Amino acid sequence: NAGVTQTPKFRVLKTGQSMTLLCAQDMNHEYMYWYRQDPGMGLRLIHYSVGEGTTAKGEVPDGYNVSRLKKQNFLLGLESAAPSQTSVYFCASSYVSSRTRETQYFGPGTRLLVL
């Protein structure tokens, strides 16, 4: 099993450009998440999905959109990139039998630089 994979690994954008980050998981997990990680701020939740066809906003959703058309894929879109979106983006997935003991499995991350 590959677990959680993310593409691309690294990308440079100019302000105003758009892009889509792809996350794929092969563990048949219902829940999927997109986080961004910035120095000194830990991981912040952007959007999440509790199942195919569903999405919800997290802590920092502005400037991002998501789609979960297939259970195994979760896409994160930036319609008009801004320098403030320079960050490392992590996707995670989980099977939630108990919220208290949920284990999230993370991908390797995508480094995005917006100039």
- Site for another protein, rule CB under 8 A: 4, 35, 40-45, 48, 58-59, 90, 92, 99-104, 106-109
Place of tokens 């949920």: 102
Nearer to another protein, 31 or 81 (CB): 31
Nearer to another protein, 22 or 43 (CB): 43
Nearer to another protein, 23 or 81 (CB): 23
DSSP 94: E
The Cα–Cα gap between 26 and 9 comes to 18
Are 99 and 86 spatial neighbours (Cβ–Cβ below 8 Å)?
no
The Cα–Cα gap between 64 and 35 comes to 11
CB of 106 to another protein, least distance (A): 3
CB of 16 to another protein, least distance (A): 29
CB of 60 to another protein, least distance (A): 11
CB of 98 to another protein, least distance (A): 9
- Going by C-alpha positions, the residue among 40, 80, 33 that lies closest to residue 60 is 33
Helix, strand or coil for residue 84? helix
